[in-house]
Amino acid sequence: MKSINANEADYERFELLGHDALFTCLRIDRKSLPEGLHAYDLRDEDSTGEICELKSHVMVNHWGTVILKEKIDGADEGIVLEDKDYNYLGEEMTLDEFANPAPKMEQTM
């Protein structure tokens, strides 16, 4: 199964297990990730087509890939997900913007 360079994908902001993340429906080449970022795959369930599992790598029923700044314990074995565990935030973001957020401007009065 072909994967693409992480810098070539389009991403949407995503929330997963309380962490900020990026989502793409594509398979990401793990070797192309900038240092400090981690990729995990989402699996969909045969009967419903809904996201049901987070795993280090998914071969069958690949729903998409998420990029996080934190490692997720248990992802090698797989983590069962429910609807409340993830959320699409509806904002496009580049991998560079996610990896290197702009500093917040201080408000002056």
Q: pLDDT digits over 77-105, tens only?
A: 999 999 999 999 999 999 999 998 877 76
pLDDT (0 to 100) of residue 109: 55
Specify burial of residue 84 (Cβ count, 10 A radius: 0-12, 13-18, 19+): exposed
Contact 46/61 with Cβ under 8 angstroms?
A: yes
Contact 24/65 with Cβ under 8 angstroms?
A: yes
| Low-confidence stretches of the chain (pLDDT beneath 50) | none
pLDDT (0 to 100) of residue 52: 96
What is the chain's mean pLDDT, rounded? 93
Whole-model pTM above 0.85? Answer: yes
Contact 101/36 with Cβ under 8 angstroms?
A: no
